[in-house]
Protein backbone atom coordinates (compact mmCIF):
# COMPACT_ATOMS: atom_id res chain seq x y z
CA UNK A 1 0.00 0.00 0.00
CA UNK A 2 1.21 3.53 -0.75
CA UNK A 3 2.18 5.91 2.03
CA UNK A 4 -0.47 8.42 1.02
CA UNK A 5 -3.19 5.73 1.23
CA UNK A 6 -2.05 4.77 4.75
CA UNK A 7 -2.15 8.39 5.84
CA UNK A 8 -5.63 8.88 4.38
CA UNK A 9 -6.91 5.73 6.11
CA UNK A 10 -5.74 6.94 9.51
CA UNK A 11 -6.16 10.68 8.95
CA UNK A 12 -8.79 11.17 11.67
CA UNK A 13 -6.38 9.72 14.25
CA UNK A 14 -3.70 12.31 13.45
CA UNK A 15 -3.26 15.62 15.26
CA UNK A 16 -2.26 18.82 13.45
CA UNK A 17 1.44 18.24 14.08
CA UNK A 18 1.18 14.70 12.68
CA UNK A 19 -0.55 16.02 9.56
CA UNK A 20 2.22 18.54 8.96
CA UNK A 21 4.86 15.82 9.32
CA UNK A 22 2.95 13.65 6.86
CA UNK A 23 2.84 16.54 4.41
CA UNK A 24 6.63 16.86 4.66
CA UNK A 25 7.10 13.11 4.20
CA UNK A 26 4.97 13.07 1.05
CA UNK A 27 6.47 16.25 -0.42
CA UNK A 28 10.10 15.31 0.16
CA UNK A 29 9.97 11.50 -0.05
CA UNK A 30 12.69 11.33 -2.74
CA UNK A 31 15.06 13.24 -0.47
CA UNK A 32 14.07 11.51 2.78
CA UNK A 33 14.30 7.99 1.31
CA UNK A 34 18.03 7.87 2.09
CA UNK A 35 17.76 9.49 5.56
CA UNK A 36 18.11 7.71 8.88
CA UNK A 37 15.36 7.87 11.51
CA UNK A 38 17.19 10.66 13.34
CA UNK A 39 17.71 12.62 10.13
CA UNK A 40 14.06 12.38 9.12
CA UNK A 41 12.97 13.49 12.60
CA UNK A 42 15.34 16.47 12.47
CA UNK A 43 14.13 17.42 9.00
CA UNK A 44 10.52 17.36 10.23
CA UNK A 45 11.42 19.29 13.43
CA UNK A 46 10.21 16.51 15.72
CA UNK A 47 11.81 14.01 18.06
CA UNK A 48 12.69 10.46 17.07
CA UNK A 49 10.04 9.18 19.53
CA UNK A 50 7.36 11.37 17.90
CA UNK A 51 8.28 10.01 14.47
CA UNK A 52 8.03 6.42 15.71
CA UNK A 53 4.63 7.13 17.28
CA UNK A 54 3.45 8.55 13.95
CA UNK A 55 4.58 5.38 12.20
CA UNK A 56 2.43 3.31 14.55
CA UNK A 57 -0.53 5.67 14.10
CA UNK A 58 -0.56 4.90 10.36
CA UNK A 59 -0.18 1.13 11.02
CA UNK A 60 3.56 0.84 10.30
CA UNK A 61 5.45 -1.41 12.70
CA UNK A 62 8.71 0.53 12.64
CA UNK A 63 10.68 3.27 10.92
CA UNK A 64 12.13 0.60 8.58
CA UNK A 65 8.65 0.12 7.11
CA UNK A 66 8.34 3.86 6.56
CA UNK A 67 11.75 4.03 4.91
CA UNK A 68 10.88 1.14 2.59
CA UNK A 69 7.75 2.97 1.43
CA UNK A 70 9.72 6.18 0.92
CA UNK A 71 12.31 4.35 -1.19
CA UNK A 72 9.72 2.59 -3.34
CA UNK A 73 7.77 5.77 -4.00
CA UNK A 74 10.91 7.82 -4.60
CA UNK A 75 11.85 5.44 -7.41
CA UNK A 76 8.37 5.74 -8.88
CA UNK A 77 8.58 9.52 -8.71
CA UNK A 78 11.93 9.64 -10.51
CA UNK A 79 11.49 10.62 -14.18
CA UNK A 80 12.53 7.91 -16.61
CA UNK A 81 15.09 10.25 -18.18
CA UNK A 82 17.23 10.21 -15.01
CA UNK A 83 17.43 6.42 -15.17
CA UNK A 84 18.42 6.73 -18.82
CA UNK A 85 21.20 9.18 -17.96
CA UNK A 86 22.66 6.71 -15.45
CA UNK A 87 22.37 3.95 -18.02
CA UNK A 88 24.17 5.96 -20.70
CA UNK A 89 26.99 6.79 -18.30
CA UNK A 90 27.40 3.11 -17.43
CA UNK A 91 27.38 2.07 -21.10
CA UNK A 92 29.99 4.66 -22.04
CA UNK A 93 32.21 3.73 -19.10
CA UNK A 94 32.11 0.11 -20.28
CA UNK A 95 33.05 1.06 -23.84
CA UNK A 96 35.98 3.17 -22.64
CA UNK A 97 37.61 0.08 -21.10
CA UNK A 98 38.19 -1.50 -24.50
CA UNK A 99 41.40 -1.06 -26.50
CA UNK A 100 40.65 -0.28 -30.15
CA UNK A 101 44.25 -0.25 -31.34
CA UNK A 102 44.42 -3.69 -32.98
CA UNK A 103 41.20 -3.03 -34.90
CA UNK A 104 42.46 0.42 -35.94
CA UNK A 105 45.64 -1.18 -37.27
CA UNK A 106 43.55 -3.57 -39.34
CA UNK A 107 41.26 -0.79 -40.55
CA UNK A 108 44.22 1.33 -41.64
CA UNK A 109 45.90 -1.52 -43.51
CA UNK A 110 42.83 -2.96 -45.22
CA UNK A 111 41.97 -2.08 -48.83
CA UNK A 112 38.19 -2.42 -48.66
CA UNK A 113 35.74 -2.50 -45.75
CA UNK A 114 32.54 -4.49 -46.31
CA UNK A 115 29.69 -3.95 -43.85
CA UNK A 116 26.53 -5.93 -43.27
CA UNK A 117 23.70 -5.13 -40.83
CA UNK A 118 21.27 -7.90 -39.90
CA UNK A 119 18.19 -5.69 -39.31
CA UNK A 120 16.77 -2.26 -40.10
CA UNK A 121 18.49 -0.48 -37.20
CA UNK A 122 21.72 -2.36 -37.88
CA UNK A 123 21.60 -1.39 -41.57
CA UNK A 124 21.20 2.25 -40.55
CA UNK A 125 24.26 1.87 -38.35
CA UNK A 126 26.11 0.24 -41.28
CA UNK A 127 25.27 3.26 -43.45
CA UNK A 128 26.64 5.59 -40.77
CA UNK A 129 29.79 3.46 -40.49
CA UNK A 130 30.21 3.70 -44.26
CA UNK A 131 29.74 7.47 -44.23
CA UNK A 132 32.33 8.25 -41.59
CA UNK A 133 35.03 5.89 -42.89
CA UNK A 134 34.54 7.19 -46.43
CA UNK A 135 35.29 10.63 -45.00
CA UNK A 136 38.60 9.22 -43.75
CA UNK A 137 39.54 8.03 -47.22
CA UNK A 138 38.64 4.35 -46.85
CA UNK A 139 36.84 2.31 -49.49
CA UNK A 140 33.63 1.11 -47.86
CA UNK A 141 30.85 -1.05 -49.32
CA UNK A 142 27.67 -1.85 -47.42
CA UNK A 143 25.91 -5.05 -48.48
CA UNK A 144 22.13 -5.37 -48.25
CA UNK A 145 21.46 -9.11 -48.10
CA UNK A 146 23.01 -12.56 -48.39
CA UNK A 147 22.60 -12.47 -52.17
CA UNK A 148 24.81 -9.37 -52.44
CA UNK A 149 27.40 -10.97 -50.15
CA UNK A 150 27.46 -14.10 -52.35
CA UNK A 151 27.82 -11.93 -55.46
CA UNK A 152 30.76 -9.97 -54.00
CA UNK A 153 32.45 -12.96 -52.38
CA UNK A 154 34.83 -13.69 -55.32
CA UNK A 155 36.30 -10.17 -54.89
CA UNK A 156 37.08 -10.57 -51.17
CA UNK A 157 40.79 -10.54 -50.36
CA UNK A 158 42.87 -11.28 -47.28
CA UNK A 159 43.67 -7.57 -46.89
CA UNK A 160 39.98 -6.65 -46.81
CA UNK A 161 37.69 -6.46 -43.75
CA UNK A 162 34.10 -7.60 -43.23
CA UNK A 163 32.12 -5.99 -40.37
CA UNK A 164 28.98 -7.80 -39.21
CA UNK A 165 26.54 -5.74 -37.11
CA UNK A 166 23.94 -7.73 -35.18
CA UNK A 167 22.01 -6.86 -32.03
CA UNK A 168 21.38 -10.41 -30.82
CA UNK A 169 24.34 -12.09 -32.48
CA UNK A 170 22.05 -14.99 -33.37
CA UNK A 171 20.48 -13.83 -36.64
CA UNK A 172 20.09 -16.79 -39.02
CA UNK A 173 21.15 -14.91 -42.15
CA UNK A 174 24.12 -13.35 -40.37
CA UNK A 175 25.33 -16.80 -39.31
CA UNK A 176 24.88 -18.13 -42.85
CA UNK A 177 26.94 -15.25 -44.24
CA UNK A 178 29.79 -15.88 -41.79
CA UNK A 179 29.72 -19.59 -42.67
CA UNK A 180 30.13 -18.53 -46.29
CA UNK A 181 33.01 -16.19 -45.39
CA UNK A 182 34.89 -18.98 -43.61
CA UNK A 183 35.80 -20.16 -47.10
CA UNK A 184 37.61 -16.84 -47.67
CA UNK A 185 40.66 -15.23 -46.10
CA UNK A 186 38.82 -11.97 -45.34
CA UNK A 187 39.20 -10.66 -41.77
CA UNK A 188 35.88 -10.50 -39.90
CA UNK A 189 34.74 -8.26 -37.03
CA UNK A 190 31.42 -8.42 -35.20
CA UNK A 191 29.49 -5.73 -33.35
CA UNK A 192 26.88 -7.34 -31.09
CA UNK A 193 25.07 -7.02 -27.78
CA UNK A 194 27.21 -7.78 -24.71
CA UNK A 195 26.54 -11.51 -24.40
CA UNK A 196 27.97 -14.79 -25.60
CA UNK A 197 26.57 -15.32 -29.08
CA UNK A 198 27.20 -17.33 -32.24
CA UNK A 199 28.13 -14.43 -34.53
CA UNK A 200 30.85 -13.03 -32.26
CA UNK A 201 32.32 -16.51 -31.80
CA UNK A 202 32.61 -16.91 -35.59
CA UNK A 203 34.53 -13.66 -36.17
CA UNK A 204 38.25 -12.94 -35.89
CA UNK A 205 37.55 -10.02 -33.57
CA UNK A 206 34.48 -8.80 -31.74
CA UNK A 207 33.17 -5.56 -30.28
CA UNK A 208 30.52 -5.85 -27.59
CA UNK A 209 27.90 -3.26 -26.67
CA UNK A 210 25.91 -3.26 -23.44
CA UNK A 211 22.25 -2.48 -24.05
CA UNK A 212 19.37 -1.96 -21.62
CA UNK A 213 15.70 -2.84 -21.83
CA UNK A 214 13.28 -0.24 -20.45
CA UNK A 215 10.82 -2.77 -19.07
CA UNK A 216 7.99 -0.31 -18.48
CA UNK A 217 8.06 0.63 -22.17
CA UNK A 218 9.23 -2.71 -23.66
CA UNK A 219 11.99 -0.83 -25.48
CA UNK A 220 15.67 -1.69 -25.82
CA UNK A 221 18.21 1.13 -25.86
CA UNK A 222 20.60 0.59 -28.78
CA UNK A 223 22.22 4.03 -28.88
CA UNK A 224 25.38 2.54 -27.37
CA UNK A 225 26.08 1.05 -30.81
CA UNK A 226 26.42 4.60 -32.14
CA UNK A 227 28.67 5.56 -29.22
CA UNK A 228 30.82 2.53 -30.02
CA UNK A 229 31.05 3.61 -33.64
CA UNK A 230 32.08 7.14 -32.61
CA UNK A 231 34.75 5.81 -30.25
CA UNK A 232 36.07 3.45 -32.91
CA UNK A 233 36.26 6.23 -35.48
CA UNK A 234 37.95 8.72 -33.13
CA UNK A 235 40.52 6.08 -32.19
CA UNK A 236 41.04 5.34 -35.87
CA UNK A 237 41.67 9.01 -36.67
CA UNK A 238 44.21 9.19 -33.83
CA UNK A 239 45.97 6.08 -35.16
CA UNK A 240 45.89 7.43 -38.72
CA UNK A 241 47.51 10.71 -37.65
CA UNK A 242 50.11 8.82 -35.63
CA UNK A 243 51.10 6.63 -38.59
CA UNK A 244 51.16 9.50 -41.05
CA UNK A 245 53.27 11.60 -38.67
CA UNK A 246 55.82 8.78 -38.43
CA UNK A 247 55.86 8.35 -42.20
CA UNK A 248 56.44 12.07 -42.76
CA UNK A 249 59.46 12.00 -40.41
CA UNK A 250 60.95 9.12 -42.35
Instruction: Write out the chain's pLDDT in tens, 250 residues.
Output: 688 889 989 999 999 999 999 999 988 888 888 899 999 999 999 999 999 999 999 999 999 999 998 888 776 654 445 556 666 777 777 777 788 999 999 999 999 999 999 988 899 999 999 999 999 999 999 999 999 999 999 999 999 999 999 988 999 999 999 999 998 999 999 999 877 899 999 999 999 887 766 555 556 667 788 888 999 999 999 999 999 998 888 7
Burial of 21 per CB tally in 10 Å (0-12, 13-18, 19+): buried
Please check whether residue 177 is in contact with residue 198, taking contact to mean a CB–CB distance below 8 angstroms: no
pLDDT at 196 (0 to 100)? 82
> Which residues have a Cβ under 8 Å from the Cβ of 39 and sit 6 or more positions away?
32
pLDDT at 1 (0 to 100)? 66
Residues 57, 60, 62, 63, Cα dihedral to 10°: -90
The three-class DSSP label of residue 140 is strand
Burial of 179 per CB tally in 10 Å (0-12, 13-18, 19+): exposed
Amino acid sequence: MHLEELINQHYTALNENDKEVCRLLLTHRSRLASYSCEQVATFCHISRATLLRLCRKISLVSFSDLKLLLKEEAQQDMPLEFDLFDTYHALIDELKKFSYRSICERLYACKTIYIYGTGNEQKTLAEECKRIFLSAGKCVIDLFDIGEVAFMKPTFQAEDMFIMISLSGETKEGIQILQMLQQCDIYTISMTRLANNTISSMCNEHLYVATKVVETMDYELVSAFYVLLDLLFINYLDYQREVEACESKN
